[in-house]
Structure 1
Amino acid sequence: MREFDKISIQEMSKEDMLMIIEALEYTGTHTKIEAFIDLRDSIVKELSALADSTEEEFVEYLNR
């Protein structure tokens, strides 16, 4: 089996990405495991930078 250091998400729909982000936030909030919130924040930060927008603008875009 091939090993991967990184995985691309080029073909993921907005709805799927929003579901992942919301699931990480929900899980982090309800389990008090900070790693879920950190991962959510990291994903949003990276994607908003790629979209040349603020994190808030990017999440709003996913919600449309």
Structure 2
Amino acid sequence: MERFDSVSLDSLSVQDLLVIIKALEYTHEHTQLDVFKNLRNNIVNELCFLAEVSEEEFIEYIESYIEKL
């Protein structure tokens, strides 16, 4: 197995991305483990930075994108 230090999200669908974000939120709410909240926030913050939008705008965009499917 090859070692890796980072993972790319470019091959994930918008739907997969939303599922991951919502799963991390749900898991944090039910376990109170900050590692899940921190991971969710890191992913969202990085994507917001790349898209040059606020977190609210980003979440609204991916949720509305899924509703259109």
In the superposition, the TM-score normalised over structure 1's length comes to 0.95
Give the whole-Å Cα distance in 1 for the aligned partners of 2:34 and 2:12.
25
Q: How many residues align?
A: 64
In structure 1, the partner of 2:30 is 30
In structure 2, the partner of 1:9 is 9
AA matched with 1:22:
K
Cα offset, 1:7, TM superposition: 1.0
Query: How high is the sequence identity, in percent, across the aligned residues?
Result: 48
In structure 1, the partner of 2:67 is none
AA matched with 1:8:
S
**Deviation readout 1:9-34 (Å, 9 max, x if unpaired):** 11111110000000000000111111
* 5+ residue gaps, structure 2: 65-69
Give the whole-Å Cα distance in 1 for the aligned partners of 2:7 and 2:34.
22
